[in-house]
Chain A
Amino acid sequence: MTAPLERVLRAFLDDPAVPRYGYDLMKAAGLKSGTLYPMLGRLEDDRLVTSAWETPQQDGQRPRKYYRLTGEGIRVARLELAQVPASRPRAPGRPARPVPGSLG
């Protein structure tokens, strides 16, 4: 499993019942839009994630698309994450591989 996918699955599993929109997932997983949306598309194709459009609350508000893990998605995500070594650094954002202060 790739590190970005792992972060997305962890974000979903924080509360599997709560639907998440794209920007929310980007913040939670520390990913860029160019990485997240193709991944969500593939998960949706695999029926691990389902999506639905929200009902606008105000006039002129553009509806957002919300994503949620399916039952199968929750099962697969838990199974896959259980195989990830616990010692691996998995903070949101980049994994802790760059040496601090080494940029430049």
Chain B
Amino acid sequence: MRGERRLLRIGEYLIGRAARLLPGEIRDERRREWTAELPAILRDPDTRLAAHRAARMLRYAAGTVWGTALAAGGARGRLTAVMAVVAGLCTASFLAVVVTNTWRAVQAPGDWVHYYWIAAGSICLARLGWVVAPRIRRAAKPMEGVREGAVAYGAMIIPDWLLSRLLRAVGADESDLADQTGAARSPAPGPAEPAATAEQAISMARDTAGRFYRARWRPGYQAAEVDEFIARIEATLAEDARPGQVVTATDVEAVKFGTTRRGGYDEQVVDEALDHYADGLARLAPFPGPQ
């Protein structure tokens, strides 16, 4: 295939980027495994068109970057970086307020506005120190303490609605915020445990509903349609649905949503949540009234 070597080099570069995000003990093995697949994809006899094979190979290599970047460690690193910038900007702003107003107070003593700003800036700095210092003292490694402090301070000053958007944007969740143990931050290994009860299944689905990931650069489900359907399921589960609005597990399994090229809900996340809902609905007693 023409240009095969160049394509392989691009693929290997992407895989190299992905491998750098992995822990040291599995980095080399993963890189060898993924790199070995590249020539096989480029020569895949099941795919007739060379351009299709090339695109598939590049998609494969890019997917390894995506998969490793969205793993818990990567998301945590990005969240720390964002929070460190937020905490750093706040510190710089508070310091600037205190220093400039102290200077002005020296130049023009007696103006109470300067004293007000000096007091306000100092209080904010003290609050920041109050949050960060104990974490640095408690942490086994100083940098880990700085991380915990920055994330805790960011979580404290960023409004909830903005924080939830930020977490989604960096692929993190609330378990990546400070004051969680290392074990709690790591995703549970192995396949998801099947929910033992209907309540458990419903609770798992509710945790996801309403805050689905948006598929920014690929097709996703129409958000309004998904929200409307989830609202019907919720009403059914709460035994609050109007006649004709009741949803059964079969409805959930058969439902189809319109898609949009960008900005819709991530299909995989929605499907998984619907699986939980279907399990929950299937385990409930038959609903009274017309269906």
Contacts and interface: CB of A to CB of B under 8 A. Distances in A.
A46 B190 contact: yes
Nearest to B282: A85
Interface stretch (B105-113, B157-165, B173-181, B267-275): B267-275
A65 interface: yes
B200 to A, nearest CB: 14
Nearest to B195: A1
B249 A85 contact: yes
B194 A2 contact: no
B258 A33 contact: no
Contact of A35 (B41, B189, B268): B268
B258 A99 contact: yes
B143 to A, nearest CB: 26
A87 B250 contact: yes
A64 B194 contact: no
A62 B32 contact: yes
B256 A98 contact: yes
Contacts of B254: 89
B275 A2 contact: yes
B190 A103 contact: no
Interface stretch (B61-69, B78-86, B127-135): B61-69
A28 B22 CA distance: 26
Interface size class of A (residues with CB under 8 A): 35 or more
A45 interface: yes
Contact of A3 (B33, B35, B46, B275): B275
Contact of B253 (A35, A48, A87, A104): A87
B39 A62 contact: yes
A103 B154 CA distance: 39
B282 A3 contact: no
Interface string A49-66: 000000000000011110
B232 interface: no
Nearest to A100: B256
A28 to B, nearest CB: 11
B36 interface: yes
Contacts of A96: 256
Interface in B189-208: 189-192, 194
A64 B36 contact: yes
Nearest to B268: A4
Interface string B20-53: 0000001001101111110111001010000000
Given A43-B191, A63-B36, A85-B282, 8 more contacts: A5-B191, A23-B37, A23-B60, A35-B67, A42-B189, A99-B257, A99-B258, A104-B260
18 contacts: A1-B192, A2-B191, A21-B40, A22-B33, A23-B44, A33-B67, A35-B63, A37-B30, A43-B191, A45-B190, A62-B39, A64-B36, A65-B32, A80-B194, A94-B267, A97-B257, A103-B219, A103-B260
Interface of B: 26, 29-30, 32-37, 39-41, 44, 46, 59-61, 63-68, 70-71, 189-192, 194, 219, 221, 249-250, 253-261, 267-268, 270-272, 275, 278, 282
